[in-house]
């Protein structure tokens, strides 16, 4: 029976029809998650093929599979509302809520609009995956995002950097109209399942009211903002020394193309420009990987062995057979690193275009964190096979990556000598350029989208509002004048692919809270930034207890299992970087650096 005929039949029933029961609600959720699991697996397979073999056909197949998931979810979410008045057992009530929240972009129940939405979403992802910049026109050599990211990471020529930045951002304007239509359709889908708009729906996914969650994000940001402001002031001073005030301007904001990353979200690549004098970290992991000829597969094996050292089982053989580790030469793929659990049991995979870089070595540990989390909760009911909240999933891999310390690298034979304590400021600076620099970017992406979905930011002001938020939170400005002919948000994967982003901000906070707790569990007593939980079974056991809970309980309970604390807390990141903060404040005072912008 179609959904429309079910509705018609329901409308035709006499008003005296018996009210629903708790047992009916349980039967409904059992049947719903069985149906959804089948559709999730089919969609995962279609999406994997689309992202690792981009063609018009794979795009259509992925869109159709995605449409089936969204249509079923919308139908089940609408049907589930009849159980809302009941006093339900916690697990049933939680499953009903998670059905409504199980897709990021909810489809309208109208089949034509649902199909249109899925087609738009697939086309936006493909546009991003196929994106290239051809400096000399279509006849010349075209540069992929990987090529352009390497330019952003290594070039010190502001003109070359500016051209690469403009070139990549030119992929996005054609997305703008479709993105605006996607917002309309997705908001319709969100309203049909009881949310004011998609942004309110996303914020409802955190076991607290949407407004409370927004306030929680702001609270955490205020905890870390002084650390970011100190780092920003110091980095700007060093960049003025390198490029001159004419390139940076006088307003205090930093031009986005000078920070070593296409989106100015991670500044680690400009470490050589801002490195503290006499505080060299003592090693270059990229050079070590190349010198020891450690290829991409071997890099992944190092990551797997880390988890095995904590007591986790080795990855299944299919992981090695089915993952995409390097960029194929014969076809278009989406290189953005991601972890996959195709069958929600043990068909685990990663998709990366791995290069011999220290950054990729850490990213591998991060992606495997997703895979080991996925396997830990695979015995939960399907609707609970997810992380406690989406920030947890991102934080686990990053927590492990925080243990990629010089001590760890020495233990696994990649480093002969651990640098002395005098190198700590250099080590912390490199890490801060990655982690602290990211915080405001992690916050503002969804602040922009929440206001887009709510209608506060209209399509006529997409780009203007984007840069206002980037300047307000990051102190970053565009390298050249921008207008509403541009669509700079679309040049970021997570916007084009409609992946909620608050999770990455939360993960940036949570990973340090997790790291502090696991270091404590391991018996470690020294500086937090020197701790590695490698080979510590006690820490591994504490971690596994939290992972296996999946999304079966509200996230504060999972947080308590891991850390003994029920509230997200940014003091751990402040503890970790405390020696650097003291040093930055001293340098800024000495240089008369402008704090804030």
Determine the Cα–Cα distance for residues 35 and 276; give it in Å rounded to an integer.
57
- DSSP secondary-structure letter at 549? T
CB 178 within 8 A of CB 124: yes
Determine the Cα–Cα distance for residues 145 and 254; give it in Å rounded to an integer.
22
CB 216 within 8 A of CB 572: no
CB 107 within 8 A of CB 144: no
Rounded to an integer, what is the distance from CA 255 to the centroid of its chain? 24
Which one from 169, 393, 494, 515 is the annotated catalytic residue?
Answer: 494
Integer angstrom CA distances of residue 184 from 106, 197, 461: 11, 10, 16
Tokens 């031009």 belong to which residue? 255
Reduced to 3 states, what is the DSSP secondary structure of residue 386? coil
Does the active-site annotation cover 484? no
Q: Which helix or strand (DSSP H or E) is residue 476 part of? A: strand 476-477
CB 304 within 8 A of CB 12: no
Determine the Cα–Cα distance for residues 130 and 464; give it in Å rounded to an integer.
26
User: Token pair of 148, please?
Assistant: 């352009």
Determine the Cα–Cα distance for residues 15 and 345; give it in Å rounded to an integer.
44
CB 528 within 8 A of CB 515: yes
Characterize the bridge pairing of strands 348-351 and 254-255: unpaired
Does the active-site annotation cover 301? no
Determine the Cα–Cα distance for residues 63 and 60; give it in Å rounded to an integer.
5
- Residues 6+ away with beta carbon under 8 Å from 239: 248, 254, 258, 270, 273, 274
Which one from 51, 116, 367, 394 is the annotated catalytic residue?
Answer: 367
Characterize the bridge pairing of strands 338-341 and 348-351: antiparallel
- Residues 6+ away with beta carbon under 8 Å from 370: 339, 341, 393, 396, 397
Determine the Cα–Cα distance for residues 168 and 256; give it in Å rounded to an integer.
13
Determine the Cα–Cα distance for residues 196 and 264; give it in Å rounded to an integer.
32
Tokens 């897709």 belong to which residue? 103
Determine the Cα–Cα distance for residues 79 and 73; give it in Å rounded to an integer.
10
Percentage helix, strand, coil, to 5, in the chain? 65, 5, 30
Show which residues are catalytic: 367, 494
């Amino acid at each position: 029976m179609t959904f429309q005929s079910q509705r018609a039949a329901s409308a035709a029933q006499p008003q005296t029809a018996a009210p629903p029961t708790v047992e009916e609600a349980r039967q409904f959720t059992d049947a719903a998650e069985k149906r959804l699991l089948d559709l999730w697996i089919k969609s995962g397979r279609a999406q994997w093929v689309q992202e690792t073999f981009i063609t018009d056909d794979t795009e259509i197949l992925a869109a159709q599979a995605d449409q089936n998931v969204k249509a079923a979810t919308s139908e089940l979410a609408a049907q589930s509302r009849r159980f809302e008045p009941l006093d339900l057992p916690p697990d049933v009530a939680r499953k009903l809520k998670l059905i409504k929240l199980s897709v990021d972009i909810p489809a309208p129940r109208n089949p034509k609009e649902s199909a249109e939405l899925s087609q738009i979403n697939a086309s936006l992802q493909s546009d991003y995956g196929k994106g290239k910049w051809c400096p000399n026109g279509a006849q010349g050599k075209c540069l992929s995002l990987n090529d352009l990211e390497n330019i952003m990471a290594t070039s010190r020529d502001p003109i070359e950097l500016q051209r690469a930045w403009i070139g990549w951002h030119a992929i996005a304007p054609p997305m703008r109209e479709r993105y605006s239509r996607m917002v309309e359709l997705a908001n319709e889908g969100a309203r049909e399942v009881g949310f004011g708009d998609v942004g309110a729906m996303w914020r409802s996914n955190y076991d607290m009211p949407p407004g409370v969650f927004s306030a929680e994000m702001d609270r955490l940001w205020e905890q870390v903002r002084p650390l970011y402001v100190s780092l920003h002031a110091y980095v700007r001073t060093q960049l003025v020394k390198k490029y001159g005030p004419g390139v940076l301007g006088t307003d205090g904001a930093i031009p986005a193309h000078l920070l070593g990353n296409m989106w100015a979200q991670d500044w680690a690549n400009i470490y050589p420009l801002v490195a503290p004098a006499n505080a060299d970290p003592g090693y270059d992991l990229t050079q070590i990987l190349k010198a020891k000829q450690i290829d991409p597969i071997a890099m992944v094996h190092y990551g797997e062995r880390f988890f095995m050292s904590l007591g986790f089982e080795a990855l299944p053989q299919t992981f090695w057979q089915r993952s995409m580790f390097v960029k194929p030469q014969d076809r278009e793929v989406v290189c953005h690193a991601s972890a996959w659990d195709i069958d929600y049991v043990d068909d685990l995979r990663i998709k990366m275009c791995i290069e011999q870089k220290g950054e990729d070595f850490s990213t591998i540990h991060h992606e495997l964190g997703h895979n080991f989390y996925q396997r830990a909760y695979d015995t939960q009911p399907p609707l609970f096979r997810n992380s406690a909240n989406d920030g947890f999933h991102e934080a686990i891999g990053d927590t492990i990556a925080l243990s990629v310390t010089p001590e760890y690298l020495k233990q696994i034979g990649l480093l002969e000598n651990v640098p002395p304590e005098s190198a700590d400021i250099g080590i912390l600076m490199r890490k801060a350029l990655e982690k602290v620099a990211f915080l405001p970017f992690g916050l503002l992406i969804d602040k922009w989208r929440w206001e887009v979905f709510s209608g506060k930011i209209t399509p006529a002001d997409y780009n203007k509002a984007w840069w206002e938020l980037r300047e307000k939170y990051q102190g970053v400005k565009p390298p050249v004048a921008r207008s509403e002919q541009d669509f700079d948000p679309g040049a970021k994967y997570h916007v084009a692919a409609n992946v909620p982003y608050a999770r990455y901000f939360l993960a940036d906070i949570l990973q340090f809270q997790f790291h502090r707790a696991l270091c404590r569990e391991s018996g470690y007593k020294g500086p937090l930034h020197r701790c590695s939980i490698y080979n510590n079974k006690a820490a591994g056991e504490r971690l596994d207890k939290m992972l296996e809970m999946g999304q079966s309980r509200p996230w504060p309970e999972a947080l308590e299992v891991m850390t003994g604390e029920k509230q997200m807390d940014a003091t751990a990141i402040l503890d970790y970087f405390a020696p650097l903060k003291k040093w930055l404040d001293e340098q800024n005072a000495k240089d008369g650096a402008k704090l804030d912008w």
